[in-house]
């Protein structure tokens, strides 16, 4: 059986499920029916799980939806005997694949150029080493140190940069809205900002090395979070006052869950700018900062 034939079979199964009497149409809300075009099935992950109920006999559908809309958890899914239904299993596998792609793919160079971000990297040579050697992901390689010294403003009040982390998908989904919002917010507070850039194969701790190289008072890294089955597009901001290599993790202030179903990117950027203003006023971050 060819891959195209397999995709056609899956598409037929999904189409039959959408019209099946097993699950009443009023109980399931879908973004669209499954369509095969040029051998490609439409993206099942675009369905909002918070709006889908697969249970056959729901006593109070609206009340159940009220609870589902508060969480991306897989509530009110159905089963066939002791197994998940085909639709539920396909969605699980699709979300798992999205999570793997987020970790193993790279942010495109075209995207970085469009957002005026030049590239530096950690001491990791590839994704395999990045995953197995977190320590190397926390330090810049020698060439990147030279690039930062040549291209970046020295001793900025705030140094903002972007890092792939564990989700390149999160960066491409959020940076276009979050970064301009953050930089404009800092500008409105009269805070000077260094030269933004992109760090490849980077861990959160790379910000400490950046702080030492550039002499930044505050360092803020926008980095892709570890993806899960709920979303592969979540990004975080880690902000540290007067960071240095080896600084305790408790000294960082974190804004997490930046994505379309969490804190929207543009809103997050403005919020991060406000927090950085408070950090500079208090001359402290992490547990030392009282918000």
Q: Among the listed ranges 18-22, 150-154, 183-187, which one has the minimum average pLDDT value?
A: 18-22
pLDDT at 25: 37
In this structure, are strands 235-241 and 252-258 parallel, antiparallel, or unpaired?
A: antiparallel
Place of tokens 């798992």: 96
**pLDDT greater than 60 at residue 13:** no
Q: What percentage of the chain reaches a pLDDT higher than 90?
A: 59
Closest Cα partner for 214 from 159, 133, 175, 278? 159
Q: Which residue has the tokens 């701790």?
A: 205
Position 73 scores a pLDDT of: 80
pLDDT the model gives residue 30? 42
Which strands, in side-by-side order, build the sheet including 158-163?
Answer: 119-121, 198-200, 158-163, 218-224, 235-241, 252-258
Q: Which residue has the higher pLDDT, 19 or 208?
A: 208
The Cα 269–Cα 133 span in angstroms is 30
For residues 18 and 214, the model is more confident at 214
Report the C-alpha gap between 187 and 112 in whole angstroms. Answer: 22
The pTM of this model reads 0.77
Answer yes or no: are the C-beta atoms of 23 and 78 closer than 8 Å.
Answer: yes
Q: What is the pLDDT of residues 143-174, one digit of tens each?
A: 999 999 999 999 999 999 999 998 999 999 99
Of residues 262 and 208, more confidence is placed in: 208
φ, ψ of residue 95 in degrees (nearest 5): -65, -35
């Amino acid at each position: 059986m060819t891959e195209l034939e397999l995709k056609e079979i899956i598409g037929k199964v999904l189409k039959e499920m959408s019209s099946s009497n097993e699950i009443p149409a009023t109980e399931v809300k879908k973004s669209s029916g499954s369509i095969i075009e040029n051998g490609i099935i439409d993206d099942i992950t675009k369905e909002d799980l918070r709006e889908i109920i697969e249970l056959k006999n729901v006593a109070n559908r609206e009340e159940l939806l009220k609870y589902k809309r508060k969480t991306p958890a897989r509530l009110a899914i159905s089963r066939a005997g002791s197994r998940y239904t085909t639709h539920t299993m396909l969605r699980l596998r699709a979300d798992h694949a999205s999570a793997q792609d987020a970790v193993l793919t790279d942010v495109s160079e075209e995207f970085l150029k469009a957002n005026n971000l030049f590239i530096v990297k950690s001491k990791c040579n590839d994704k395999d080493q990045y995953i197995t050697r977190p320590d190397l992901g926390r330090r810049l390689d020698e060439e990147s140190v030279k690039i930062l010294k040549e291209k970046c403003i020295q001793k900025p009040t705030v140094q903002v940069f972007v890092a792939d982390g564990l989700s390149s998908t999160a960066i491409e989904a959020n940076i276009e809205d979050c970064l301009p919002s953050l930089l404009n917010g800092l500008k409105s507070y009269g805070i000077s900002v260094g030269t933004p850039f992109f760090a490849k194969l980077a861990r959160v701790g790379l910000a400490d090395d950046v702080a030492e190289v550039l002499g930044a008072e505050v360092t803020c890294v926008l980095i892709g979070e570890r993806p899960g089955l709920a979303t592969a597009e979540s990004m975080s901001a880690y902000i540290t006052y007067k960071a240095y290599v080896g600084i305790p993790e408790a000294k960082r202030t974190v804004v997490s869950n930046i994505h379309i179903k969490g804190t929207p990117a543009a809103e997050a950027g403005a919020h991060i700018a406000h927090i950085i203003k408070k950090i500079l006023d208090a001359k402290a971050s992490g547990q030392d900062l009282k918000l």
